[in-house]
Structure 1
Amino acid sequence: MNYWLVKSEPVKYSWEKFNQDGRTFWDGVRNYQARNNLRAMKEGDLVLFYHSNDGKEVVGIAKIVKESYQDPTTEDPNWVVVDLSPVETLKTPVTLEQIKADERLKDISLVRQGRLSVMPLKREEFDRVVELGS
């Protein structure tokens, strides 16, 4: 199993809306590195859901329920989506400040590549964020 983090501005697509929908395809990725990360996602992989810009916090855990396929919002074959379903809301959101202050998370992609919208995580990074949110 692999672990990931995806970012969404809550005004565009919030964790609450995601939970209401129960499933969504992750579209709008127009960065090649993020696209390659989408292509690497496998069914069953776990994903941290991060509210960017407003909030700047990890709010929940999702899972990959369908591997990459053509992004239906564009005819450009370069872009793909995956399907996600919510798994669990964190009891306490984990803020970017908490992540930056945690020695065990000093190398997390969220800090090193802050603008990337889809990023891989090490299992220990995923587990630490979940622990902070428990």
Structure 2
Amino acid sequence: MAYWLFKTEPDVFSIDDLEAKGAPEVWEGIRNYQARNLLRDEIAVGDQVFIYHSSCKHIGIAGIAEVTRTGFADPFQFNAASDYYDPKSDPDNPRWFAVDVCFVERFDALIPLNVLKGVSALSDMVLLNRSRLSIQPVSEQEWSIINNKLVVR
């Protein structure tokens, strides 16, 4: 099992939206090649994911999801009515990938970015060094520190 951090804008899709679905949801719309490669090649069923709210007033880790389906062609790239449509993507050789995730847990309190930055053991975390990447690996040690020491349940 591996650990990840997926960023989302909560006014578009939040941890609450994922919980309300009550079923696996397509994590779509990733349009960065490095993140796409992770979705396509590395993320596996059973991997655990921190859901990170970004581009909002209260930025931070909001909860946990689990991957329920490995990388598959993002169906929205082929839908001309979608914001994620890509006319250059070919169904026989798709450019963009997605995974399915399901809700696991919403934290009682968001773990803000400034709290994460204040933990010296997290100083190498991708989020704190290359924060623009929307899909990021999280080491087992980082997962443990955040999940066991910073989460309010």
TM-score w.r.t. length of structure 1: 0.96
Selected match of 1:100 from 114, 117, 140? 117
Shift of 1:91: 2.7
How many angstroms apart in 2 are the aligned matches of 1:53 and 1:133?
Answer: 21
Shift of 1:87: 0.7
Shift of 1:90: 1.6
Match of 1:30 in 2: 31
Q: What CA RMSD, in Å, does the superposition of the two structures yield over aligned residues?
A: 0.9
Match of 2:142 in 1: 125
Match of 2:59 in 1: 56
Secondary structure at the aligned position of 1:74 is classed as helix
Contact 1:35 1:79 in 2 (8 A): yes
Identity, in percent, stands at 36
TM-score w.r.t. length of structure 2: 0.85
Match of 2:83 in 1: none
1:45 matched to 2:57? The reply is no
Query: AA paired with 2:52?
Result: Y
Contact 1:90 1:130 in 2 (8 A): no
Q: Which runs of 5+ in 2 are unaligned?
A: 79-88
Q: Which runs of 5+ in 1 are unaligned?
A: none
Aligned residues: 134
1:21-47 Cα deviation digits (max 9, x unpaired): 122111111101111111210000000
Which of 1 and 2 has greater Rg? Answer: 2
Shift of 1:92: 2.2
